[in-house]
Structure 1
Amino acid sequence: MYFHHVLLGLIVSAGLALPSAAAEITVRSAEMNGRSKGHYHDQIVEFQLTGEIRDGDDTALRNLIATTMPAYYPNALSSVVIYLDSQGGSFSEGVKLMKSFKELGVGTVIARDAACLSACGIAFLGGTIVNDGSVFQRHRLVEPGARLGFHAPSLGVRGATLVPADLLQVSYASALAALGQLIEASPDFDIPTSLLETIAKTSPEEMYELTFVDDFARWKIDVKLAHQGWKPGRSHIARLCSNFFTWQSGASALDRDMATHLQWQQQLANAVVFVPAASSGQPEFAHVQTLAYDYDEHCIVQMYPANWGWSIGLQITNATPQTAIQALRTSNLGLPHASRLHTLPADLEVRSLR
């Protein structure tokens, strides 16, 4: 039995399409970052992936890194990032690249005016760097103006008017297998369930492109924003305390009665209390009572000046603000980390930040 491919609406994604040119993977730049010689992050090496992602690209990337890194800096823990600009391609190869990025400690970046869609978006989710403590941490960064989009894997058949049933069955199994690999790996890559659901529900003929702050924040994708001279104010604290933990769970802050929510945010902003640092070099704090129930629940925001801007941590507690702040001042407790992105309105279009 045969099926007409137009009726099926098939596009490339699962890796069974007719041969085409693989993505071009090159060295973009290599430079010192100004730290003292001998530090494992002295050298920043940037790679570039451009074009359609095809079978074999993961192997090509690994080979390029293996041959390139010793030439620039022999320490395998050098800071490495890859800039992505691709309309998509093989979903399964995208999953392989995603896994390699984490294994090799390669951060992912989508530059302003570049696009990373479909299989490229899957690969992007693997972005990871090695921090100063030799700890692998998530690093997937989008510059305002870049495009990032996802959809489900397609059956990956093109270029023929008729498709044999046995090939269609193989294509279907491959697409499911690729999606299954992504789902299985998601806990290790900090991929929220809500993002997996969006990928699975978006037809291969469509594209879910991230648009609002809400999309990036709930799916733990960083946006490159200017931090110089910026410091959280009352409205920022209010948005942090009303949205951050919703985003941490992978849920949308826009799935609410927004008029009521914005009114509540304004009430929070008016009630924010700032607490100065106890001494030089110590963090500042802000706090606000978040809920008007039979018990007190407070949002404590810890703010610490850093060379890249302000380091921000949050805590929800039933203790009094004074007790909670004193405890934080005398402990090394690590709070959930927020960024400037989390202080912006949930419905703000990220591209407007260009």
Structure 2
Amino acid sequence: MGKVLVAMLAAMIAMPSMASAAVIRASETDGCRLELSGKIEAGDLTQLQALAKIFDLTGLSDSGEASNRDEEALCLDSPGGQYVEGRALAHFVHENGIATRLLPGAECYSACAVVFMAGRLVGGEEDYPSRTMHITAKLGFHAPYFNYSASETFSGDKVNETVILNNLLLADFIAFGSTTSGFQYRPMFPVSLITAMLSATPNEFEMVDSLDKAARWGIGLEGIAERGIVGLQGVQLACENFQAWAIDASALSENYGTQLKGSPVARGPDRRHSRPRHRHADDAAALPARRQRRRVTARDAARNSD
């Protein structure tokens, strides 16, 4: 985004949160190289840039392999915050090929969710998304909005200016979210996710609460129980699900459902400090998935969030 646009938007747009400022630090947790927690505010990008450089997460590799690894992720636990700073963090993460992860019990809403979706591994011969959430984590999207006071009054010129800025904001987000590569035809933000996100008001969240949504939106899952032999019916279901998700459609089979929240594996002990089993959503295609759309309000979140 242009510097003038950034300055104007920073003063006018927010994703509300009542949490403290973000803390970005080195991590000793398996699967994480850095951790970001708390509210996202101006200045967080500078913090992340400095730490990423110290831990050699910046720049792209000259070899064919990705410069970073899935196990060197930026682990997120944030209620959101300022959209413009979140957008800048997302650009930095994506540009440098840094994976993102939500550990068991983590929460990532709004501006944090934008950063999460930017997770990526890239090298000379590979380029693919790397954003992984544990099934007990919470991931929610909603649209940014202008943070005007309820008592403010506006002239016609001010309203027109706001509309123009809003259009520029959306154009920038769509352009960024539509990023693809020679190795990955699916955009960073599938159209259905952009639609769901921009349709959610400041007091609502579009939650990633089913296998169907996670796979459709290219989000890897951890904490899924292993399964035995799938069988012919399972193979057929896997093919149907995979074909639907590949074209950004909901799974074709509606008679099955796997919720992320309340899954049997979610009732075990907290394994925040152990390396969870990783399975990408595409690898879990044989698991049941149900077409579902659920909105939750801010009251449904476990703590105050955007």
Distance in 1 separating the partners of 2:20 and 2:204:
23
Distance in 1 separating the partners of 2:289 and 2:128:
25
Are 1:14 and 1:89, in contact at CA under 8 Å, matched by a contact in 2? no
Q: Flag the 1:231–1:63 CA change in 2: closer, same or farther, 3 A.
A: farther
Larger Rg belongs to = 1
Aligned counterpart in structure 1 of residue 282 of structure 2, from 301, 320, 338: 338
Which residue in the other structure is 2:221 paired with?
Answer: 223
Which residue in the other structure is 1:186 paired with?
Answer: 177
SS in 2 for 1:96: helix
* 1:118 to 2:110 alignment: yes
SS in 1 for 2:238: helix
Q: In the alignment, residue 173 of structure 2 is paired with which amino acid?
A: L
- Superposition pairs of residues 139-150 of structure 1, within 5 angstroms: 139-150=130-141
Are 2:23 and 2:37, in contact at CA under 8 Å, matched by a contact in 1? yes
Greater displacement, 217-226 / 241-250:
217-226
Are 2:15 and 2:83, in contact at CA under 8 Å, matched by a contact in 1? no
Q: In the alignment, residue 244 of structure 1 is paired with which amino acid?
A: F
Deviation at 1:91, TM superposition (A): 1.8
Are 2:32 and 2:73, in contact at CA under 8 Å, matched by a contact in 1? yes
Name the count of aligned residue pairs. 245
Distance in 2 separating the partners of 1:209 and 1:13:
26
After superposition, what is the alpha-carbon deviation per residue over 1:275-296, rounded to whole angstroms, capped at 9, x for unaligned? xxxxxxxxxxxxxxxxxxxxxx
Q: Which has the higher strand share?
A: 1
What percentage of aligned pairs have identical amino acids? 26
- Superposition pairs of residues 169-184 of structure 1, within 5 angstroms: 173-184=164-175
Greater displacement, 228-237 / 196-205:
228-237
Distance in 1 separating the partners of 2:226 and 2:29:
25
Which residue in the other structure is 1:202 paired with?
Answer: 200
Give the structure-2-normalised TM-score: 0.68
Unpaired runs of 5+ in structure 2? 1-10, 181-186, 257-276, 293-306
- Superposition pairs of residues 67-146 of structure 1, within 5 angstroms: 67-69=54-56, 77-79=67-69, 80-130=72-122, 135-146=126-137
Deviation at 1:201, TM superposition (A): 1.1
Distance in 1 separating the partners of 2:19 and 2:227:
48
Are 2:221 and 2:279, in contact at CA under 8 Å, matched by a contact in 1? no
SS in 2 for 1:253: coil
Give the structure-1-normalised TM-score: 0.59
Which residue in the other structure is 2:7 paired with?
Answer: none
Deviation at 1:244, TM superposition (A): 1.1
SS in 2 for 1:243: helix
Distance in 2 separating the partners of 1:172 and 1:214:
35
* 1:46 to 2:33 alignment: yes
Are 1:155 and 1:172, in contact at CA under 8 Å, matched by a contact in 2? no
SS in 2 for 1:207: strand
Which residue in the other structure is 2:265 paired with?
Answer: none
Greater relative contact order (Cα 8 A, min sep 6): structure 1 or 2? Answer: 2
Which residue in the other structure is 1:29 paired with?
Answer: 28
Q: CA RMSD in A?
A: 3.7
Q: In the alignment, residue 183 of structure 1 is paired with which amino acid?
A: I
Distance in 1 separating the partners of 2:206 and 2:231:
33
Which residue in the other structure is 1:320 paired with?
Answer: none
Distance in 1 separating the partners of 2:23 and 2:160:
31
Which residue in the other structure is 1:249 paired with?
Answer: 247
Deviation at 1:14, TM superposition (A): 2.6
Distance in 1 separating the partners of 2:143 and 2:279:
37
SS in 2 for 1:239: helix
